[in-house]
């Protein structure tokens, strides 16, 4: 007899965190318009990681409609700040409206443009960076993440099961600046539901 609960994936669908009408509406919109948001499990995971690490300054790459940003912003202390980078002017406009509705607009700054260019021009130190742009940009973004993240800071990368993330996966696994793991996970309502997540701490 197996020691495991049968049909684990359906079983864990019973543990999707509850969320309010705004987040549910953003999920419906994302499904309708094929906006690849992280969904409620990774959203809550981001909240937990940001909260548990006490992150005060967070950088997000890939705002989309602001769904993951709402989870991250809600984990901030009152003095904290989220900077979120987004290529699409339409998405940036929608995200700003959603941050207002979520009551976090004062703590969130959405910057429009190509994330790699925006990062190259940035200074400052972040406690946590969340990487969720086009996967081919993950590896080129890594030196910027290292420069902008404090030693001891946390880098979270979504969708590392995508072929485009392969170079990033190999680099973060081998570079001495990082201690990293890759988790292959079942993530209900994530796009896609079976995917990899990478967690890394900058160690030098
Ligand atoms: C996967 S979605 C982000 C989803 C969002 N993090 C969430 O879960 O709610 C990726 C977003 O990043 C933007 N994007 C893709 N490549 C980018 C780049 N190189 N620089 C800036 N934004 C980019 C896309 O326009 C899209 O809105």
| pLDDT the model gives residue 170 | 98
162, 131, 159: which is closest to 145 by C-alpha? 131
- State residue 11's pLDDT score: 97
Domain assignment present for residue 162? The answer is yes
- From the alpha carbon of 62, which atom of ligand 1 is closest? 12
Q: The CATH number of the domain where 134 resides is what?
A: 3.40.50.150
Strand order in the sheet with 178-186: 108-112, 81-86, 57-61, 126-131, 149-157, 194-202, 178-186
Residue with tokens 């099961």: 161
- Please report which helix (H) or strand (E) contains residue 82, including its range: strand 81-86
Within-domain flag for 118: yes
pLDDT score of 49: 98
Q: Is residue 151 part of a domain?
A: yes
**Which pLDDT score, from 0 to 100, does residue 191 have?**
87
CA of 181 from ligand 1 middle (Å) equals 23
Q: Which two tokens stand for residue 69?
A: 């940003």
Nearest CA to ligand 1 atom 15: 133
Look at residue 1 in the predicted model and tell me its pLDDT.
Answer: 81
- Give me the sign of the Cα torsion angle 9, 48, 183, 171: positive
Residue in 134, 139, 187 to alter for ligand 1 test, most ligand atoms within 8 A of Cβ: 134
Determine, yes or no, domain membership for 170.
yes
Q: Is the CB of 75 under 6 A from ligand 1?
A: no
What is the per-residue pLDDT for 124? 86
- Ligand 1: nearest atom to the Cα of 66: 9
Residue 18's alpha-carbon distances to 24, 36, 48, 104, 190, in angstroms, are 9, 20, 14, 19, 15
Answer yes or no: is the C-beta of 137 below 6 A from any ligand 1 atom: yes
Q: 91 CB under 6 A from ligand 1?
A: yes
Lookup: tokens for 197: 């997540």
For the chain, how many residues are written? 204
> In this structure, is residue 8 part of a structural domain?
no
User: How many structural domains is the chain composed of?
Assistant: 1
**What distance in angstroms lies between residue 165's CA and the mean position of ligand 1's atoms?**
14
Q: Is residue 14 assigned to a domain?
A: no
Kindly give the confidence (pLDDT) of every residue in the chain, 204 residues in length, as a single tens digit, with 9 standing for 90 and above. Answer: 899 999 999 999 999 999 999 999 999 999 999 999 999 999 999 999 999 999 999 999 999 999 999 999 999 999 999 999 999 999 999 999 999 999 999 999 999 999 999 999 999 899 999 999 999 999 999 999 999 999 999 999 999 999 999 999 999 999 999 999 999 999 999 989 999 999 999 999
Q: Is 131 part of any domain?
A: yes
Q: Is 164 in the pocket of ligand 1 (CB under 6 A)?
A: no
Residue 48 lies in a domain: yes
Going from the Cα of 88 to the center of ligand 1, the distance in angstroms, rounded, reads 8
Which residue among 87, 92, 99, 144 is best mutated to probe the pocket of ligand 1, counting the most ligand atoms within 8 A of its Cβ? Answer: 87
Q: What domain range is 182 assigned to?
A: 21-202
């Amino acid at each position: 007899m197996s020691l495991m609960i049968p049909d684990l994936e359906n079983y864990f669908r019973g543990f999707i965190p509850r969320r309010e009408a705004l987040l549910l509406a953003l999920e419906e919109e994302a499904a309708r318009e094929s906006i690849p948001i992280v969904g409620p499990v990774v959203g809550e995971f981001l909240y937990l990681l940001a909260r548990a690490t006490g992150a005060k300054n967070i950088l997000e790459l890939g705002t989309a409609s602001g769904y993951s940003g709402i989870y991250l912003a809600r984990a901030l202390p009152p003095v904290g700040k989220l900077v979120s980078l987004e290529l699409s002017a339409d998405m940036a406009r929608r995200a700003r409206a959603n941050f207002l509705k979520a009551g976090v607009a004062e703590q969130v700054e959405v910057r429009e443009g190509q994330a790699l260019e925006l990062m190259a021009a940035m200074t400052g130190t972040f406690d946590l960076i969340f990487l969720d742009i086009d996967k081919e940009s993950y590896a080129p973004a890594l030196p910027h993440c290292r420069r902008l993240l404090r030693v001891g800071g946390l880098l979270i990368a979504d969708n590392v099961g995508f072929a485009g993330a392969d170079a990033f996966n190999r680099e973060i696994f081998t570079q001495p600046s990082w201690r990293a793991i890759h988790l292959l996970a079942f993530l209900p309502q994530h796009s896609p539901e079976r995917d990899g997540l990478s967690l890394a701490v900058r160690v030098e």
